[in-house]
Amino acid sequence: MSDSWDPDRYLAYADERGRPFVDLLARVPAETPHVVVDLGCGPGNLTALLADRWSGASVVGIDSSPEMIAAAREVEGVTWEVGDLRDWARPDPAALRAPVDVLVSNATLQWVPEHLELLPGLVDRVAPGGWFAFQVPGNFDEPSHTIRTDLAGQAPYAEHVRGARVPTSHSPHDYARLLLDLGCEVDAWETTYLHVLTGPDPVFTWVSGTGARPTLQALPDDLRPLFEEEFRALLREAYPADASGRVVLPFRRIFVVARKPATTTAVGV
């Protein structure tokens, strides 16, 4: 995960991006957890909600982006770490990690192509009777993503962005089935939010802070402005503003809350 991230651009729509986290957290009924971990914490604004809710817990925020962690360090009451969740999910006998009572990952797993294979390892980090809750986008067949994919596949861009990371996710059923097979109790659902955005090219502002960022970074400086100009125009056509300048962005998200059995022998990892 070598892409660099811009916390300010990411926070341009902080309220809209934060609502799924709040909705996810509302379905985690843990009362007095000792250790709470946020994998892919970003700039830490949402991790702070974990510290507020479980004030007696040790709360840890982990992100692979040094830029995000640097911004997160302004939030007090949380321990911040730069780290890759893929390493965190792998068995490591040399690492004496405390069992995690609540493990949260919000809009992060979609950046790891093999994340379905990592779920058993992540469940293994959760204490018996603990909770594993995550949310991933499920809107990759929407114009906000397909336009970028189609445009990036054309000359002169294709040769430069071939290796750029592209987010992906699975169906709620896929996640639920895997976690059920691990012996967990599972609550899985999906929600389509209708975000009302304003400002110049708001959909471009949204995607350029997240899903489209690796593609934009992969382009050379002399091509990026041309790509952005074409991308903006196509997004304006796909998401036209109304007479008041408002744009409605449908955004489907997938939620999973799993509770690990109270005895570890019930989980096959």
Q: Write down the mean pLDDT value for the chain.
A: 90
Cα separation, 248 vs 261, whole angstroms: 41
Strand, helix or coil for residue 167: coil
pLDDT at 1 over 60: no
Give the DSSP per-residue string, 230-269: HHHHHHHHHS---TTS-EEEEEEEEEEEEE--SSGGG---
Instruction: Extract the runs of DSSP E, i.e. beta strands, from the chain.
Output: 35-39, 58-63, 79-82, 100-106, 126-137, 185-197, 247-259
Q: What is the DSSP letter of 180?
A: H
7-266 belongs to which homologous superfamily? Vaccinia Virus protein VP39 (3.40.50.150)
Q: Residue 123 to residues 25, 120, 127: CA-CA distances in angstroms?
A: 17, 5, 8
Domain residue ranges in the chain: 7-266
Instruction: Please give the pLDDT value at position 140.
Output: 93
Q: What percent of the chain lies above the pLDDT cut of 90?
A: 77
For residues 27 and 257, give the distance between their C-alpha atoms in angstroms, rounded to a whole number.
7
- What pLDDT does 248 receive? 97
pLDDT grade for 14, boundaries at 50, 70 and 90: low
Q: Closest by alpha carbon to 134, among 105, 108, 112?
A: 105
**Which residue did the predictor score with more confidence, 7 or 127?**
127
pLDDT of residue 87: 85
Contacts of 250 (CB under 8 A, 6+ apart): 139, 142, 192, 193, 194, 195
Query: What is the spatial distance between Cα 75 and Cα 119, in angstroms, rounded to a whole number?
Result: 28
Q: Where are the extended beta strands (E) located within 163-208?
A: 185-197
- pLDDT tens digits for range 151-204: 999 999 999 999 898 999 999 999 999 999 999 999 999 999 999 999 999 999
The pLDDT tens digits for 239-266 are 999 999 999 999 999 999 999 999 755 4
Say yes or no to pLDDT of 93 above 70. no
